[in-house]
Structure 1
Amino acid sequence: MRVLDYLELEGRIRGGIATATRQQRKALDAVGVDVVESPWVGDGPLDAAKSALTGGPAFEEYDVAHCNLVGPGSVAVARHAKRNDIPLVLHSHVTAEDFGESFRFTEHVAPALRPYLRWFYSQADLVLCPSEYTKGVLREYPVVTPIEPVTNGVDTESLEGFESFREETRDRFDLDGMVVFCVGEVFERKGLTTFCEVAEATEYDFAWFGHYEEGAAAGEATRYWTNNPPENVTFTGWMDDKRAAFGAGDVYLFPTKDENQGIAALEAMACGKAVVLRDIPVFEEFFTDGEDCLKCETEAEFVEALDRLAANPDLRERLGENAKETAAEHSLERVGERLVEQYERLLERQSGTA
């Protein structure tokens, strides 16, 4: 089986979508699928257009088209797939709900994004999404195409050796004691204000490991907090190796307002870290309060949870061990098997054998 697994604007995209796509490709390779990463003949759309003008093909050959973004390149792939009876899978990493409060003006753009996403995802033979929660969001648009939840998974192999980064990273950023941390792009939808206000109410060292916008694209909260951080908060900027973050931190604090799943939280769990989450619907299907995490609703509850963990190392250890077991349920092996199952179903339907 030859599958296009396409991430439009690859090389510029950071964060969960890029991680999810890399993990898909790794999972598919492990189960023997021939993965094509770009749909274009040549080095990109320009070469593809030149090929088409001289009578050649513009698109590579593949049995299934799987797109991970929603821009013009993905639209072109979708149209090509429909014209040529190639099963089309569109992966919903983007919803209007999780687009808001990300960068400047996105909260204003998000409502207008909903009808576009409804149109785009409805072209697919199958929409994949990371959670039952996201499936419910898409049904409300409404997207009437078949939708199947498939976990983004967690690449435990990419985290191996994280412990060895501990002292170096803590020294680099002057971190001490029980370090409360977050990993990923810095913006308000991820709970930035809550993260900083909880820090102000405690004496623990806080660190947010991840890129943040400094120019015109930066949201108001991002500009404010990264320029005026509480004394005990460090914004590290982009980290070349995510293992440094998971090595340095002790308690993963993720007060996000909306997620489709939360890959970095799974990565923290795979590293055996105690995790403190905002109690939002998507986490109900994956994590259990008091077993593999602590869930909170208010800033006071977040502060109380951190104080409990600081005073009770045994609780931190127990939550971390249980979290490892939860993360194991999201292995890339399972991701690969689930993706192949969906592709094969589409191909069987196309051939009329199902």
Structure 2
Amino acid sequence: MRVLLYKEMQNMLKVSGIGRAFRQQFKALEMNGIDVTSDKSHPFDLVHFNTVFEESFSFLKHAKRKGIPVVVHAHSTKEDFLNSFNFSKYIKHWFYAKLKNMYSNADVIITPSNYSKSLLESYGYIKCPIKVLSNGIDLKEYERDEKKVEAFRNHFNLKPSDKVVIGVGLLFERKGLHDFIEVARMMPEITFIWFGTLNKAMQTKVIKQAIENKPSNMIMPGYIAGDVIKGAFSSANCLLFPSYEETEGIVILEAMASRLPIIVRDIPVYAEFTHGKELLKGTSNLEFATRIQQILKKDTSVMTETAYQSVSQKDLILIGQQLKAIYEETIERVKNHDNN
């Protein structure tokens, strides 16, 4: 079995969760000895899409004409498209049509959470099986490494005594960046760092104003990969992720794998986690600030270890095994359908 992981707009998506998921899938499949390529000129037995735009849909139709099974990864929903970037509400119907084109023509859809599966089922036009499978995480990548911790603290000139709260994500209103900035304003004694980027023309008015008026204890270094960000996950005091809508949130998996205390907004996708068990939840900026103080004052080792044990079930090698099983079942099902 050779799998084509279809590659579209990866330069633009490399800093996004979808781009990261693509790279994770490639790695997970290779870990399990599966022949995987992103070169569409190679022969392949199944094609796996992560994007929904014109190039992907055109190639999907090409694959369907040849009887090649089609897997579509549903990273995006109608719900998480809104309140993202500037003008998103004006092009939502165009985007919804793209979702429908891809999702209604798949042989199987993979989505990262039970919550996102429930959203997809509510659309009414999806007739194929929908499988829930986490995007996964390479646990080894997030093991504590003092060199990475040092790279992070040196990059930001942090003293050993400095308290640090991090956030990660594109500069979307949906991600709650404006709330992150307001919490930073409430806690001037703590350094807040948000890792992420977005072209200024695509930022909403709310986000632009929030960034322009951010307090002096708030740092926005843009997109940073490698040792610095890995060191941040190992060295910060907590992750504050006040997103309003997610299908999973890979950053949560990264923090769990790093044993970093986590605060999230209490939204449906995180119903599988219990407040105080794997992470802390809040519903307002005041609650987020209170949760940060809780983390700074209490021993969180039991909570972070519980979170680590939870995310260990989503290690990439296990995700690759499950992907392989989905592929094999889909190939067999399409083959039997074509023979009937």
TM-score greater than 0.5 by the shorter chain = yes
Aligned partner of 1:124 among 91, 100, 106: 106
Within a 5 Å distance, the mapping from 1:210-221 to structure 2 comes to 210-214=196-200, 216-221=201-206
Q: Decide whether the 8 Å contact of 1:114 with 1:141 is kept in 2.
A: no
Amino acid in structure 1 at the alignment position of 2:286: A
Amino acid in structure 2 at the alignment position of 1:37: S
Question: Structure 1 residue 253 and structure 2 residue 254: aligned?
Answer: no
Within a 5 Å distance, the mapping from 1:73-222 to structure 2 comes to 73-142=55-124, 143-175=126-158, 177-202=162-187, 203-214=189-200, 216-222=201-207
Aligned to 2:312: 328
Amino acid in structure 1 at the alignment position of 2:256: M
Within a 5 Å distance, the mapping from 1:190-339 to structure 2 comes to 190-202=175-187, 203-214=189-200, 216-241=201-226, 242-285=229-272, 287-312=273-298, 314=299, 316-339=300-323
In structure 1, how many angstroms separate the alpha carbons of the residues matched to 2:128 and 2:91?
24
Aligned to 1:12: 12
Secondary structure (helix, strand or coil) at the match of 1:222 reads helix
Aligned to 2:28: 27
In structure 2, how many angstroms separate the alpha carbons of the residues matched to 1:117 and 1:11?
21
Amino acid in structure 1 at the alignment position of 2:138: D
In structure 1, how many angstroms separate the alpha carbons of the residues matched to 2:82 and 2:319?
28
Amino acid in structure 2 at the alignment position of 1:227: E
Aligned partner of 1:341 among 320, 325, 328: 325
In structure 1, how many angstroms separate the alpha carbons of the residues matched to 2:268 and 2:87?
25
TM-score, length basis structure 1: 0.88
Unpaired runs of 5+ in structure 2? none
In structure 2, how many angstroms separate the alpha carbons of the residues matched to 1:275 and 1:128?
26
In structure 2, how many angstroms separate the alpha carbons of the residues matched to 1:110 and 1:96?
8
Deviation at 1:174, TM superposition (A): 4.0
Q: Decide whether the 8 Å contact of 2:8 with 2:51 is kept in 1.
A: yes
Unpaired runs of 5+ in structure 1? 42-59
Deviation at 1:224, TM superposition (A): 1.9
Q: Which is worse superposed, 289-298 or 216-225?
A: 216-225
In structure 1, how many angstroms separate the alpha carbons of the residues matched to 2:133 and 2:45?
20
C-alpha distance 168-30 of structure 1, shift in aligned 2 (>3 A):
closer
Amino acid in structure 1 at the alignment position of 2:89: E
Aligned to 1:48: none
Secondary structure (helix, strand or coil) at the match of 2:179 reads helix
Secondary structure (helix, strand or coil) at the match of 1:189 reads coil
Deviation at 1:159, TM superposition (A): 2.5
Secondary structure (helix, strand or coil) at the match of 1:105 reads coil
In structure 1, how many angstroms separate the alpha carbons of the residues matched to 2:173 and 2:276?
26
Q: Decide whether the 8 Å contact of 1:91 with 1:127 is kept in 2.
A: yes
Amino acid in structure 2 at the alignment position of 1:147: I
Deviation at 1:110, TM superposition (A): 2.6
Deviation at 1:112, TM superposition (A): 4.4
Q: Decide whether the 8 Å contact of 2:108 with 2:130 is kept in 1.
A: yes
Aligned length: 331
Q: Decide whether the 8 Å contact of 2:50 with 2:74 is kept in 1.
A: yes
TM-score, length basis structure 2: 0.92
Q: Decide whether the 8 Å contact of 1:207 with 1:233 is kept in 2.
A: yes
Q: Which is worse superposed, 196-205 or 81-90?
A: 196-205
Q: Decide whether the 8 Å contact of 2:166 with 2:240 is kept in 1.
A: yes
C-alpha distance 302-321 of structure 1, shift in aligned 2 (>3 A):
same
Q: Which is worse superposed, 294-303 or 255-264?
A: 294-303
Aligned to 1:54: none
Q: Decide whether the 8 Å contact of 1:273 with 1:319 is kept in 2.
A: no
Q: Which is worse superposed, 74-83 or 154-163?
A: 154-163
Q: Decide whether the 8 Å contact of 2:143 with 2:257 is kept in 1.
A: no
